[in-house]
Structure 1
Amino acid sequence: MMANTSKSSEIIQGYKDTLKRQVEELVLRKIPRKVVELNVLLENTNKFKAMNHSDVIRTPQDPVVTEQGEEPTKKRQKKSKYNYDEEIIKNQVLVTNITFPSNKELSELISVIEPFIRQLIEDTSMLKMWISLMPKIEDGDNFGGTLQENAIGQIMMVLSEAKKFLCQISVYFEARGKIVSKVMKYPGVEDYIRAVSKLDKEERVNLWLVVCAIRNHYYSLYDYLVKYWE
């Protein structure tokens, strides 16, 4: 029994030692590099420049309808560059298999930013575990214990916000999909097309703010942890 307990203790201690080395590598090397990468991304104005939204979304043009008196059972299909089929039945156009593309520039930008968000979540989760496993600092005025609690609180705040960044991207795609479905249903209503353009512009600004926030979180974590070690 004692042998098993001793072996378990060695495994736990080995995990703690490995975690400590990983945290030191993160704080002293990886975080400074990450800040530089994020600054370079923010300075790349082409990534966040105002995009031309006139071609963001288009609706099928010049629909073909059947002539008066044509048999209601007769169907025709028309292929178009918008990748849709039109089933024309008795003076009606039923649009099926239609595809509206995502905003290409924003999709590419999201693919660049999303790994930074996921990495921030991973880094803060590791920092939280590291501080949680540390022995509680005891001193006369309990300053050490308060410092540990504050550090965990700071890390949890960053972790929570990073998770919200991921949710924000999902919310954007969901909201855009709903508006696009309105465009499909009411192709003659220009306000829906403008709504898509406005949503894309807002998301571009939001993504810029997300990158700024990630960089600032790394700044604050670095500063806080260095002071914590001191």
Structure 2
Amino acid sequence: MKQTFIKKEGNPRLMLFFAGWGSEENLFRRPVEEGYDYLLCFDYRTLDFDYASIKGYTEIRLLAWSMGVWAASRVFAERSFPWQMKLAVNGTPFPIDDRQGIPEMIFKGTLEHFSEDTLARFRRRMCGSSGQTEEFLSHAPTRTAEELREELAALAQVITTCAAPSFTWDKAIIGNRDKIFPPRNQHKAWQGTEIMETEAEHYDTPLFSRLLEGKGEEWTRH
């Protein structure tokens, strides 16, 4: 796993963001709320995490998207930190699951037939529109298709051989237009957890900007 401080100014509070599969630093180099440092985590070919990097913060906002929800659940399953809130977006702790995640055959087919064309199709489905896809690509993705296939294979290996992690989230945001994690499956996965629905695709620029800047009602418990 790669851990990159996008903002490190000695603030007492931390925005800790576990991005999804295929993410990189360029994609989420965005402003965050004043008074927060910002640590981005991505590339889940391994789940090695440097816990020392988040020690000393008095409050931590945990934000996770897509496969990052599962990754964060595993990383923090046996540990306690001063969480201000733990917010999951368009993902579940059961990422390869016919009822609570990405249907197994779809995931398996993506991995078995992975190529540059497969990646391009995935990104179009993830973004939902040509404009959103162009915005995604404007962040100059640099990771190769082979590297992303390695990450997907590593995720599949751990997810399918290990029990689902036990970790409690405070709220789950479900994008009703998500074409990667079916909204119906997300609802099943988050039974018993506070849910907030939004008219968003799997990848949604305004939503991420709002969450990282701490604006809106998403960070409020009801």
TM-score per shorter chain, which class?
Answer: under 0.3
Q: Choose between structure 1 and 2: higher helix proportion.
A: 1
State the TM-score, normalizing by the size of structure 2: 0.23
Greater Rg by CA: 1
State the TM-score, normalizing by the size of structure 1: 0.22
Q: Choose between structure 1 and 2: higher strand proportion.
A: 2
